[in-house]
Structure 1
Amino acid sequence: MVTNTRAGALRRTVNDASAPPPSPAYAAWLRGEARRANLISMTRAVLLVAVLVLWEVLARTHVVNPMLTSYPSAVWPTFLELMSTGDLPGHTWATFRATIIGFTVSMAAGVAIAALLWWSGFAYKVLDPFLVVANAMPKIAFVPIFYIWLGSEYSVYGMAVAISVFITIMVVFEGFRGIDPNKIKLALTLGASKWQILTLVVLPGSVPTLLAALKVNIGLALVGVIVGEFQSASEGLGFLIINGSQVFKLNIVMTAIVVLAVLSGVMYLAIARLEKATVRRYSA
């Protein structure tokens, strides 16, 4: 095993050494792409700083009422204060935990129901109009129902699932239906069962769709959690936002919103890294 590993490493080294250097045109294109990526990053940073500076100036000069909008320089002291008391970590963890649970349940249920619809044309024809109507309904209408059914704690999870599961079903099912029918015919010709077609042809072929559903679903689950926390929770960033607005402490509201933005960005980047690793694995 060690000998084979060293031989493989030696072959890769020889191949890399024998590879021709990139052409001048290709090297120039790579430098241009690097400059463009740097320019995009710098522009993003400048835009963010410009928005924060404009917000600070407008609030300090009372062009806008700082009592209603707060200002960026008040966010950092509030952040430190909430961190020192332990309130912010607790609320952030409550929102993150509920989002991950809702996201996991909605993805599992969405993929399972999409697979059922693909498996049975009868089930698809029966359930399709109900799924369309359920997806079109304003989910905030379910908040009092979930509160009565599930209580103040679990109604947040219910909202996360309700907002994200239906779009997951529709996106994943369309991915299943988009599989090349010639691949399915080939599998049938080779004697594959329907379960084998699902697990060996449809699911692997739908990896890009599943990754797209993950990226959409993580944001929708977070929206559902925040909506649930607005209405019925006693913890979480949504509760912190509502509680701060009720007592006109907009610095707390803005701090919670900033933390919420960072949390959503981190979760999205985690899904993006998973997507990159998965695409690299399937293309290797």
Structure 2
Amino acid sequence: MVTPTPPPAGREPSPAYREWQSRQRRRRQRILLTRLALLVAFLVLWEVLAKTHVVNPMLTSYPSALWPTFLDLLHNGKLLMHTWVTFKATLIGFMLSMVIGIGVAAGLWWSDFAHKVLDPFLVVANAMPKIAFVPIFYIWLGSEYSVYGMAVAIAVFVTIMVVYDGFQSIDPNKIKLARTLGASRAQVLRLVVMPGSVPTLVAALKMNIGLALVGVIVGEFQSASAGLGFLIVNGSQVFQLNVVMTAIVVLGLLSGLMYLVIARIEAAMAKRYA
């Protein structure tokens, strides 16, 4: 379908454009309603299967049992504390991964020699199972900071490779024009490469927030004394499946909220650099 051209500023939209906008609104509403219907169907199916013992409720719990557990954890302050610990670690790991990843990618773009030397090491490091680093980080960084180390270890290598590929995809004619006009290599990076790589940087943000959260949860599984990962492991050890499932649901909500924030950033950047 061809998208109608938006009207110039100050002019009334055409009937065709208004009709297209109306179709887009209806489509967004259908998508939202379908999402809600799928979620409700999943919860109802989960409840029915557990209540009728098609699946063992001792192993899966069920939605109506999670709400009292959620309220209990909320009232005694444990849920907010554990959620905050996980969120803080994810945010720190996410920011460190983005800063390190963009910095290293810029260095690889700056020096083709460095890229040729380091590229196989980056590929191998990215392919390694990061959970193998948990005991090393625990010894090096301690129980608290090893969680941040895991978040960075899981997210940073993907960030480097994705951002570097974005830098390399910039139109070479634009770079050549900037150099012809007297721009230094640093100016080309700052004024041409970085702004031209905004879609790639946003894609890296979207991947990085999820990977950082995975790293934090893996770290909390192994060595933490607080956080949603710790709550899940602790609940499973004492066979409190309601606590485990409640923590998993909260973890899903947290990841969804962080993704929505990144989506807002993506929309704002798209308008600015359209």
Give the alignment's TM-score, normalised by structure 2: 0.95
What is the aligned partner in structure 1 of residue 225 from structure 2? 234
Match of 1:220 among 211, 216, 223: 211
In the TM superposition, what are the counterparts of 1:177-192 in structure 2 within 5 Å? 177-192=168-183
Q: Deviations over 1:130-151 (max 9, x none)?
A: 0000000000110111111111
Match of 1:130 among 103, 121, 134: 121
Q: Deviations over 1:111-154 (max 9, x none)?
A: 00000000001100110000000000000110111111111111
What is the aligned partner in structure 2 of residue 106 from structure 1? 97
- In structure 2, stretches of 5+ residues that fail to align are 1-7
AA aligned to 2:14 is P
Q: Deviations over 1:46-102 (max 9, x none)?
A: 111011011001111111110000000011110100011110000000000000000
Match of 1:208 among 199, 216, 220: 199
What is the aligned partner in structure 2 of residue 67 from structure 1? 58
- Alignment CA distance shift 1:202-1:141 (3 Å): same
Q: Deviations over 1:174-202 (max 9, x none)?
A: 00000000011001111111111111111
Q: 1:26 Cα deviation (Å)?
A: 3.3
1:246 maps to 2:212: no
Whose radius of gyration is greater, 1 or 2? 1
What is the aligned partner in structure 2 of residue 45 from structure 1? 36
What is the aligned partner in structure 1 of residue 14 from structure 2? 22
What is the aligned partner in structure 2 of residue 156 from structure 1? 147
Match of 1:170 among 161, 179, 183: 161
What is the aligned partner in structure 2 of residue 140 from structure 1? 131
Which consecutive segments of 4 or more residues in structure 1 shift more than 3 A?
A: none
Match of 2:248 among 239, 257, 261: 257
**Equivalent pairs: percent with the same residue?**
73
- In structure 1, stretches of 5+ residues that fail to align are 1-13
Distance (whole Å) between structure 2 residues aligned to residue 82 and residue 27 of structure 1: 49
Distance (whole Å) between structure 2 residues aligned to residue 27 and residue 89 of structure 1: 45
Partner of 2:273, secondary structure, is helix
Give the alignment's TM-score, normalised by structure 1: 0.92
Q: 1:31 Cα deviation (Å)?
A: 2.2
Distance (whole Å) between structure 1 residues aligned to residue 9 and residue 147 of structure 2: 55
AA aligned to 2:175 is I
What is the aligned partner in structure 2 of residue 267 from structure 1? 258
